Structure 1
Amino acid sequence: MICRHCRTDFEAADSIGSGFTLCQDCWEHDCSRQWWALVALLGNVEEPTVMTEHDVPRIYDPDGENPKDRIGQTKPALHLIPPAAEVLEAVVMGLGARKYGPFNWRSAKVRATVYIAAAKRHLAQWLDGESNDAESGVSHLAHARACLGILLDAQATGNMVDDRPPPGVATTLITQHTGTPPMIQELGQR
């Protein structure tokens, strides 16, 4: 048989009876990953005939790279999100789900400025020394994350009403005033 991906000849070594005719040797292509996924899915781990001795080195090669690693490293690194932030945001999202319904912003479009204003209020309260929201008892920072998470999801799913004002000069002003007066540092030392 000819592999439809790498175009090499191979024997249909189908030890699991899947009828799959894909090359088991070209790790550079999806075809062998699909074949091994079928082995894992359809194979009976108690049955020793599922894999032969010559299959084992391809599955575990201490000097080789796991093919999943090569693909996985190109995807967003979700493990970098701090668990504490994720857990506290989930608590706030749960409170919102009870109050307004889960994923309510996907059922009816939401205005961007409503969520930006709410996030800024929570950040202002946190910055002014109030760590937790008086109503929920959960961190204002978690509430701000929830607001921004909803807004990101609404934007990604096309459920955001973009009611931002016309573009301004915030980026220009930030650039102009970056690295300027050490006076701000002096104010903090008083």
Structure 2
Amino acid sequence: MRYLFIFLAYLVGSIPFSLILGLIFVKKDVRKEGSGNVGSTNAARVLGYKIGLATLVLDVSKGFIPTYIASLYDPNLAILVGLFAILGHVFPIYLKFRGGKAVATTIGVFLAIFPKGILIALVVFLLIFMLTKYVALASMSMAISLPIIAYSLGSSLNMIYFSLFIAILIVYRHKSNIKNLLTKKEDKFI
């Protein structure tokens, strides 16, 4: 049962909502324009703000729902389920394992298992975004703040290690953005 739950979380995490919404409502493949990413930022740029917002809500939900359900049974199972929901978004089986950068799905997962921590991390996101207008920089700052927040709030070792792993994953997924930031080629989100 435990493994089935984890597998289902991966399948749910793999659902490419921006691609589905783009093809249905705008007749565009989000992977073929902008950054080519299936996340909500590229969806907003390529498909419009309404679809970008819908993608954001759905990507947060696909992290939150399975993780929250698992948290009702076992906190450690919830961390595993959350991990596989995030990995599904990053390496979706439906898109030949080429997915998004994990930010929205991570928000959903942490809303389910570490709400105080993610709310503080979202404040970090908003501050960095308001100061710079770079979503990528704000996203990485949010991710890096998570293990620091988890440690500061006295979270379990499992939560601290999980937060650290997700922070590393999100920063790694933004490697092209880091290069663009360093060469001043990164697009601001206005």
Shorter-chain TM-score range = under 0.3
TM-score, normalization by structure 2: 0.23
TM-score, normalization by structure 1: 0.23
